[in-house]
Amino acid sequence: MKIKRYTLNDFIIFLFIYGINSCDFFAPYDLEFVELSDEKINFGLFENEKQFVIAYADSFNVSWAITTSDSWITVTPTSGIINIDDPDTVTVKIDREKIKGRGAFTAKIEISFQDKTNSKSIDIFAEIKAMLSISTDSLRFGASDTLSSFM
């Protein structure tokens, strides 16, 4: 029986016939190797600025862009390029004056990557304390008054 020997040309023809694009090995990067240092950022009652890191565990360059779900969140930078030697640090700031109401608030930061339809997200949490508002700065009690109220 004669054994057929394949050449490099045979291999290249095989790849073109069966689809070089269907193989994940030839993809420019894989989203599973993109890591975020945080999945949640909690600003609590008092913090206004925090940071997270976007890293990639491969030598390909990967571009990214960030969008936010609410106007009270700002992110810098809003886009960049990462690879194994160059992760990016992103600063997230919240403007508590733009948050309407009091209590706990949530939002999202979406990070999308080039040539990928899916993205990664970070949940943002912030709390706004209730404020006491008094319309007068003093109360006058008369000689016979034992109780007084204010609005």
DSSP 6-73: P-HHHHHHHHHHH-GGG-GGGSS--GGGEEES-SEEE-TTT--EEEEEEEESSSS-EEEEEEESSTTE
Which CATH number is 31-128 given?
Answer: 2.60.40.10
Q: What is the pLDDT of residue 43?
A: 93
DSSP conformation letters of 91-138: EEEE-GGGS-SSEEEEEEEEEEETT-S-EEEEEEEEEE------S-S-
Tens of pLDDT, residues 82-115: 888 889 999 999 999 898 888 899 999 999 987 6
The pLDDT of residue 11 is: 62
- The average confidence (pLDDT) of the chain is 79
Cα atoms in the 13 Å half-sphere on the side-chain side of 37: 12
Specify the pTM: 0.66
Burial class (CB within 10 angstroms; exposed 0-12, middle 13-18, buried 19+) of 106: exposed
The predicted model gives 68-79 an average pLDDT of: 94
> Tell me, what's the pLDDT at 5?
73
Tell me the mean pLDDT in the region 27-45: 79
Q: What is the pLDDT of residues 54-65, one digit of tens each?
A: 988 877 788 899
Cα 53 to Cα 121: distance, rounded to the nearest angstrom? 13
pLDDT of residue 99: 87
